[in-house]
Amino acid sequence: MGADRIVTLAVLCVTLLATPGPATITLAACGANLGVRRSVPYVLGLTTGVLVSLALAVAGVGVFLVRAPGALLALQIGSACYLLYLACQLVRKRTLTGGSAAGPGGADGTGGPDGPAGGRAEPGATAPPPAASFGYRHGVVLNIINPKIYLLTIALVAEFVRTGPRPAENVLVVTLVLLSIEFGVDLAWCYAGDRLRRVLAGPRAALVTNRVFAAVLVGVTVVIVGPALTATGGHS
């Protein structure tokens, strides 16, 4: 694959992956709740999900998933249900824990923003629920059932893998470029959320922030599954 094609591939990946969507919203929420460093497992999970989607697209399975009406609807419903689950988890969180979720002294033992070293923890206060929704496996699941990722990988395979010579080499180049940009874009969204966490200190601001993230996820859910259900109802 020539240099000009690689540049085009990179620009396309950045444009499509950086635009707001289900994954990017959860990444910002993850960064706001955990900070960048503790969001890395979730980022790796999302990147793995992209790799799985790309492998399915290369094998021809991805085309079936987006063209078969029942399969696409199942993907959309599954993605919507998982986003609603993540939204519920965010509503339950009352603080942006950052580095303090590992214990009273914070993740590094020096005191998190809400721990004793920060001086803001109240005696007898209830600890916030653990942020288990933002782990590696949750990132994998979200992108495996994310219709946007399947549309992206199918387009990349059609344009950059099957149209030129040496398809094996093309698959390798597309994989390296796509995963590198996916990882970088994901970290950037986490960083944006982390900056928000540092600006919005205090439990009330944190509560509002998480509920805003949850409301946005619900809105994305409606956008994903609403038109599909309407079309299905119209054909019945």
User: Over the stretch 188-215, which tens digit does the pLDDT of each residue have?
Assistant: 999 998 888 777 766 677 777 788 888 8
Give the pLDDT band of residue 109 (cuts 50, 70, 90). Answer: very low
How many CB atoms within 10 Å of residue 11?
11
- pLDDT for 211 equals 84
Q: Which tokens belong to 123?
A: 């005696």
Burial class (CB in 10 A: 0-12, 13-18, 19+), 206: buried
User: Over the stretch 29-83, which tens digit does the pLDDT of each residue have?
Assistant: 889 888 899 999 999 999 999 999 999 998 888 777 777 777 778 888 888 888 8
- pLDDT for 229 equals 58
- This model's pTM is above 0.85: no
- pLDDT for 71 equals 79
CA distance 80 to 171: 30
